[in-house]
A and B are shown apart, each in its own frame.
Chain A
Amino acid sequence: DTGVSQDPRHKITKRGQNVTFRCDPISEHNRLYWYRQTLGQGPEFLTYFQNEAQLEKSRLLSDRFSAERPKGSFSTLEIQRTEQGDSAMYLCASTGLAGDTGELFFGEGSRLTVL
């Protein structure tokens, strides 16, 4: 499977715990995005990487959130001291330079439930 993969698919945690999600983009893609999707809503942009550089962060990304892409390949999204409001689907997407069609390729998402 050469698509975008995310792990874990589901995570249930207690309020105050830390969680980390991993995203493996399509191998030749140098741009990687994280989005958050709550029930009944469209995805909202969180952050963007071009290679290993984090070039943009949304105001939605509080200081409890941190994302990395250390070698320009996989990325991690960590949420510290989780709150119930963090419960959502976290989507990763990637795209490449070739043609710049604008299309993002999405993973299946990591669903977080904070109790």
Chain B
Amino acid sequence: AQTVTQSQPEMSVQEAETVTLSCTYDTSESDYYLFWYKQPPSRQMILVIRQEAYKQQNATENRFSVNFQKAAKSFSLKISDSQLGDAAMYFCAYRRASSNFGNEKLTFGTGTRLTIIP
């Protein structure tokens, strides 16, 4: 079974600084997707960034980027120029790729609570 581990329950960063959230996963699959989701307080979970395992290039979305190390099964999220609105729970998630459109559910880590210090 796939597992996702986030070893940092809480992190804090000064506004405008850079912070990196860690995630490791375990799988025997070669093709899969990795995601970072953001869950603000009392708001729905939204996708921050995704990475296809077959792509060597690290994904970037504006201030958000990942460091994907497939051999090490590591998938960290870097947030640059942190803003107050970045404060939230961040969840790393894994999904096995599929050749048909079957159920490929997300497996989540336990999350990292990010606090932004003004």
Residues of A within 8 A of B (CB): 3-4, 31, 33, 40-45, 48, 50, 55-56, 91, 97, 100-104, 106-109
Whether A109 contacts B44 by the Cβ 8 Å rule is yes
Given A101-B50, A102-B33, does the pair A3, B44 have CB atoms closer than 8 Å?
A: yes
Q: A50 is contacted by which of B33, B103, B106, B108 (Cβ under 8 Å)?
A: B103
Tell me the bound Cα distance from A108 to B91 in angstroms: 15
Whether B106 contacts A40 by the Cβ 8 Å rule is no
Tell me the bound Cα distance from A106 to B35 in angstroms: 14
Q: List 21 A-B contacts (CB under 8 A).
A: A3-B44, A4-B44, A31-B101, A31-B103, A33-B105, A40-B110, A40-B111, A41-B110, A41-B111, A42-B108, A43-B45, A43-B91, A44-B108, A50-B103, A100-B98, A100-B101, A106-B37, A106-B44, A107-B44, A108-B42, A108-B43
Whether B111 contacts A104 by the Cβ 8 Å rule is no
User: Could you say which of A43, A45, A97, A107 has the most chain B C-beta atoms within 10 Å of its C-beta?
Assistant: A43
Tell me the bound Cα distance from A56 to B105 in angstroms: 10
Contact count band on B: 20 to 34
Whether A103 contacts B111 by the Cβ 8 Å rule is no
Whether A43 contacts B108 by the Cβ 8 Å rule is yes
Tell me the bound Cα distance from A91 to B6 in angstroms: 21
Known: A43-B106, A56-B105, A104-B47; 17 extra A-B contacts, CB below 8 A, are: A4-B44, A33-B105, A40-B110, A41-B110, A42-B108, A43-B45, A43-B91, A44-B108, A45-B106, A45-B107, A50-B102, A55-B102, A102-B33, A103-B35, A104-B106, A108-B42, A108-B44
Q: A102 is contacted by which of B95, B102, B108 (Cβ under 8 Å)?
A: B95
Whether A56 contacts B103 by the Cβ 8 Å rule is yes
Chain B contacts for A43, CB-based, 8 A: 45, 91, 106, 108
Tell me the bound Cα distance from A90 to B44 in angstroms: 11
